[in-house]
Structure 1
Amino acid sequence: MDLVLIRHPEVAIDAGVCYGQTDVPLKRDVHELARELIARMQALNVPACVDGWHTSPLQRCALLAKALATDAHIDARLSEMHFGAWEDRAWDTIDRASIDEWAADVTHARPHGGESFAQFSRRVIEWFDETCAKRDEAVHVVAHAGVVRVLAAHLLGVERETALQWPLDFGAIAGFRRVRDEWLLVRWNA
């Protein structure tokens, strides 16, 4: 079984803004982005999508999934982490002490009043367990960087906090393959 994870394309929001679950638009035309992604996936020999794309309900993911296939499976558990009071704020306007509190315990702290990283990870892994655990056919997902990193850490058995540091470009493809109940990384940031 293959799990194909696509980070959503670049968004039309100023750099340096915290936008976790803020529903921001894509920067470019979604149909053009879909054509480019399909061509890249074909060049990389990514397994074909047979069961529709799974996606976050946020437009930066859902619009692309719907442009790729009419049968998109929308699931709120694939939404990015919710940053509470920090949503839609420039990072440099957020109280430094609050950011330091969060950085001191990324897993459990939630000074913003939104989700902790542990809560976020639980819901993403719940989606994975329900959707992917017993499937043989490939699963394709358009999601957020946080979702992709949480799933990568889970599948590869590495610390989630470590995976948070892995670079992941807008529109990047991450691919995993299950071989005899072990997950292998096929591609990252492709």
Structure 2
Amino acid sequence: MDIVLIRHPAVSVQEGVCYGQSDVALADAPEASAAAIAVRLATLQVPAPRVLLSSPLTRCATVATALAANFGCAYSIDDSLKEMDFGTWELQRWDDIDRALLDAWAEDFEGARAHGGESVEQFVGRVRAWFDVFQQTRELTPAYVVTHAGVMRVIAATVLGLPVERCLRWSIDMAGCVWLRRDDTNLQWSIVRWNA
């Protein structure tokens, strides 16, 4: 079983702004970004997808639509693949958010939700519930999933049996890809490519 997680390309948002579930535009045309991603995946000899899944946010869905047309495969949207909801922090500069609130979040990383959006625990639960269902549908692979860095890290932590906090610093570039493979005999997952 192969799943290729693809982070959306660069967005038209200033650096240092929290944009979680805000529906922001891409910096470049989605068709051009999708073509570049397809070429890179072909170079890496990633198997073509049987299905393409995507977050509904524009920065993912537009790229997924273009990729699905390129590969001639089925395509669907899933709300579970959205980035974490940062509530009142959305579209705020991280530097402008009250330091005491950020410190409180760091002290209770999984449970805090001073912003009123999702806690990390809620976000992780949502993504893991989606992934548990996905793993039971072998006919959907190889699958490409156009999503967000947070979702990609939660899935990586899940398959590797690691705490999500350990994966937070793992670099994932804009339009970066993470290729995961499960050995269907022993049901063990491995990372084939990280941030390719």
Correspondent of 2:84 among 73, 78, 81: 81
The alpha-carbon deviation at position 22 of structure 1 amounts to 0.4
1:135 to 128, 135, 138: 138
Counterpart in the other structure of 1:187: 193
Q: Which residue of 1 aligns with 2:95?
A: 92
Residues 33-44 of structure 1: pairs in structure 2 closer than 5 A: 33-44=33-44
Report the Cα distance in structure 1 between the residues aligned to 2:153 and 2:21, rounded to whole angstroms.
16
Q: One-letter code of the match for 1:186?
A: V
**C-alpha distance in 2 between matches for 1:76 and 1:165:** 25
Alignment of 1:23-38 (within 5 A): 23-38=23-38
Q: TM-score, normalised by structure 1?
A: 0.97
Shift of 1:61: 0.4
- Give the SS at the match of 1:123: helix
Of 163, 166, 177 in structure 2, the residue corresponding to residue 162 of structure 1 is 166
1:134, distance to aligned residue in structure 2 (A): 3.8
- 2:64 matched to 1:65? yes
Q: How does 1:39-58 map to 2 (within 5 A)?
A: 39-51=39-51, 53-58=52-57
Q: Counterpart amino acid of 2:68? A: A
Instruction: Note the C-alpha offset of 1:46.
Output: 0.6
Q: Give the structure 1 partner of residue 175 of structure 2.
A: 171
- Percent sequence identity is 49
Aligned-residue RMSD, C-alpha: 1.0
| Uncovered stretches (5+) of structure 2, i.e. residues with no partner | none
State the match for 1:6 in structure 2.
6
Q: Which residue in 2 is equivalent to 1:121?
A: 124
Count residues with an aligned counterpart.
Answer: 189
* TM-score between both structures, scaled by the size of structure 2: 0.94
Q: CA deviation at 1:47?
A: 1.1
Q: Residues of 2 paired with 1:120 and 1:4: CA distance?
A: 20
Aligned equivalent of 1:153: 157
- The alignment partner of 1:89 has SS state of coil
